Structure 1
Amino acid sequence: MLDDFSPTTWTSLPPLDAGVRILISDGETDYVAAAHLRIDRSADAGSTAEAARIYETAYPHADFTWPHLRAITEVEEKVFGTDSPVTVTLSDPLPGAPVGDEPIADVARASSLAQTLATIHSAAPEPISDAGFPVEEPSRFQFQILERLDQAAATGRVPATLLQHWEEEFEKVALWHFLATPIHGALDEANVYTDEERVLALADIGRMRVADPAIDLAAASALIDPAAVPTFFTEYRSSRPRADDHIVTRAELLAEFAVLDWLLEAVESGDDEAIADAADLLTSFDQVLLRPDGSHVPTAPVSFDDVAQGSNVTSATEESADDHGTSDGGVRRSSPSGADRGSAGADRGSAGARVSEHASPGGSGHASPGGGTSGRTSAGDGASGSRSAGAAENGPESSGSPER
């Protein structure tokens, strides 16, 4: 695939959700070879290459890096025993290691992840839309969520108070007063690479699109220890002061919604055991999230372990910052903004963490906050699998492109 490169060593890496990955080396240069066995049209090798080009232009001074493709080819189906040719890519190894099973508990990495997302969300959306990546307007995203809510209600497995809570929250007009921005769109424990101190790289960038930045925040909160989530949100607001007033509320609601999306995926697949598990979890979630009178409980960070045990939660986090977004309209019904409502649990994203392996991938047409998962892992692209790594590849530290 590359002239003058003849690998002499091969080291298996944690697989993608749609293929296999191998670190190859000729003793001087390392590359990651990936065979994409099941191509998702929204995140194929071509999309990744185009996304990398956009990242280079939009984030020239970012202090994190992303996959840089060096070669793309197709291999005959007989090599992998598939029904069609398989796309194989060569890319530079990413520094650091994926977050993996261990949630981000330290302030440094939680803050770094917030800064990374603030950088991504601050770029101009036009290059992404002009390149043919999806554009998801606020009204369309709200419609998709409400549609999923209607589907969930039809199952008869969601507590009525929980359905009412989500319907009331997602139909609030003020919630949708924001501008769609570039987002990563597929954050999970396999796609965020860190060392001991900061985020070094993001993988699976081919799912980028212009959409609600709260989608990324919800997915990111699922990777963070509950105690560090307030730090994450505070740092994000500090790094992106023009974020709309309700972005944290939307992120928390989307993290909650991952539980419901797990149920819908189970129903769609006909998995009775998963349906029962999801329904039980929703019942427990309802008991933790809502007061006996049906009003919302302002909560501290809460995890699925808390939900499963029916733990009581107290305290609240607050939102701040001015709203510089604009409304796209298109909501079904007007209701009060609820701006004085205590923020929901800062890690109901942790709820999303436990169901992210079951919930829908959060692409166009789904309301789940995160991207597709590829299984939990802790080994990086380096042969040693060490969490430590050198500096990112893209130059000096910077807050990234100016806010648009």
Structure 2
Amino acid sequence: MSDGRLGRVNTKALKLAAVAATMLDDYSPTEWVPLPSLGLGIRVLVDDGQQQLVATAQTGLDRSADTGSAAEAGRIYDSMYPHAGFTWPHLRAITEVEADYFGTSAPTTVTLIEPLPGAPVGDQAIADTARASSLAQALATLHSAAPESISEAGFPVEDPSRFQFQILERLDQAAATGRVPAGLLQHWEEEFEKVSLWRFLATPIHGAIDETSVFTDQERVLALSGIERLRVSDPAIDLAAASALIDPAAVPTFFSEYTNSRPRADEHVITRAELLAEFAVLDWLLEAVDSGDEEAIQDAGELLSSFNDVLFSHDAAEPEAVEDSPPSTPDTELTSEAEDVVDEGTAPDESGSADDTHRP
């Protein structure tokens, strides 16, 4: 294959297209289009004139995650959500190539899936209530299924008390850094130690909701990717991650629609989701400490201090300032600031065409 128009070839994408051409019988793609990485690795859309498929060389994934679990997760989704109003990746083929093929340190897994409709939300916050409501409905559907088939398939099952312990353990680790303001530390300790907060039944959760895994059009959520992180755990994990994708003004609609769509949800799920959303900045601090990134440590510390000021300094605000410019709620303020923590990136419609099309 060559690129006559641009005068050069994306070598790794071409290699991936060549691998994809061998993965299915009676499928010989004649065109390929490079796709954004989405943090996964090298991606191309291949087309034989009748069917388009997405090939991914998963150089960007942690190999400790079992790629084969994506296929099993897809089968579980098929059985648990036959009437869902959204779709998910359907694996058509999987193979492995030697490390030197893509210049990686270990063998690379290559997958071939059907394209997902719509496009990832990327770094553009969901500001309209229609899509916010649609995302809430999708998560309510996920969380309403019985968990037995997930545990029987060997996916993780997290006990609420164990999850609470892990959070408090991370809080102790963060406190040891000296970067968490005392007031904020006490606030989280008091909230996360409340016994009533953890009286709930764990449910199936997506487990990897982010800006690359939620596919939408202009009106609703069409697909969810990243399903290999499927597990039985706290549904608030998904809600907290999803709220970070939504404009603060639409978050109340998102939470309201979720509780309306899942009336059997435990009474504290929204409270836990809001706390976990706050906690995201603390996790960022711990990741920075683990990596030794001094600049990131400084940034995380400043963001924690800023959030502490927002949370505890309302009484100090002058009435005139409050009247002219109402302060945001702590969750809103944190969400707005924390959006900068997420790696930015956009992607075209997975099933659409692109200008950079290559023919053999």
Whether TM-score is above 0.5 comes out as yes
Instruction: Give, in whole Å, the separation in 1 of the partners of 2:342 and 2:55.
Output: 26
2:277 corresponds to which letter in structure 1? Answer: A
Instruction: Quote the offset at 1:138 in angstroms.
Output: 0.6
Alignment partner of 1:254 is 2:282: no
- Unaligned stretches of 5+ residues in structure 2: 1-22, 318-324, 356-360
For 2:341, the equivalent position in structure 1 comes to: 355
Can you list the C-alpha shifts for 1:67-105, whole angstroms capped at 9, x where unaligned? 000001111222101232211110000000111121111
For 2:120, the equivalent position in structure 1 comes to: 98
Instruction: Quote the offset at 1:292 in angstroms.
Output: 7.0
Alignment partner of 1:189 is 2:217: no
For 1:345, the equivalent position in structure 2 comes to: 331
Higher relative contact order (CA 8 A, sep 6+): 1
Alignment partner of 1:30 is 2:16: no
Using the size of structure 2 for normalisation, the TM-score is 0.86
For 2:5, the equivalent position in structure 1 comes to: none
Instruction: Give, in whole Å, the separation in 2 of the partners of 1:347 and 1:214.
Output: 19
2:241 corresponds to which letter in structure 1? Answer: A
Instruction: Quote the offset at 1:346 in angstroms.
Output: 5.5
Instruction: Quote the offset at 1:143 in angstroms.
Output: 0.5
| Aligned residues between the structures | 326
Alignment partner of 1:215 is 2:229: no
Percent sequence identity over matched residues?
A: 69
Alignment of 1:42-57 (within 5 A): 43-57=65-79
Alignment partner of 1:125 is 2:147: yes
For 1:151, the equivalent position in structure 2 comes to: 173
Instruction: Quote the offset at 1:28 in angstroms.
Output: 1.1
Using the size of structure 1 for normalisation, the TM-score is 0.77
Can you list the C-alpha shifts for 1:363-391, whole angstroms capped at 9, x where unaligned? xxxxxxxxxxxx521322124369xxxxx
Can you list the C-alpha shifts for 1:33-61, whole angstroms capped at 9, x where unaligned? 00012543564320110100000000000
Instruction: Give, in whole Å, the separation in 1 of the partners of 2:27 and 2:312.
Output: 60
Q: Residues 292 and 223 of structure 1: is their aligned pair in 2 closer, same or farther, counting only changes over 3 Å?
A: closer
Alignment partner of 1:86 is 2:108: yes
Q: CA RMSD in A?
A: 2.1
- Unaligned stretches of 5+ residues in structure 1: 298-310, 316-343, 358-374, 387-404
2:94 corresponds to which letter in structure 1? Answer: I
Contact 1:122 1:240 in 2 (8 A): yes
2:348 corresponds to which letter in structure 1? Answer: A
More helix by share: 2
Instruction: Give, in whole Å, the separation in 2 of the partners of 1:186 and 1:194.
Output: 16
1:110 paired residue among 98, 123, 132: 132
Q: Residues 293 and 107 of structure 1: is their aligned pair in 2 closer, same or farther, counting only changes over 3 Å?
A: closer
Instruction: Quote the offset at 1:18 in angstroms.
Output: 3.6
Q: Residues 106 and 259 of structure 1: is their aligned pair in 2 closer, same or farther, counting only changes over 3 Å?
A: same
Instruction: Give, in whole Å, the separation in 1 of the partners of 2:56 and 2:237.
Output: 27
Instruction: Give, in whole Å, the separation in 2 of the partners of 1:87 and 1:80.
Output: 11
Instruction: Give, in whole Å, the separation in 1 of the partners of 2:88 and 2:333.
Output: 26
For 2:26, the equivalent position in structure 1 comes to: 4
2:222 paired residue among 200, 203, 219: 200
Instruction: Give, in whole Å, the separation in 2 of the partners of 1:128 and 1:40.
Output: 22
Instruction: Give, in whole Å, the separation in 1 of the partners of 2:262 and 2:345.
Output: 30
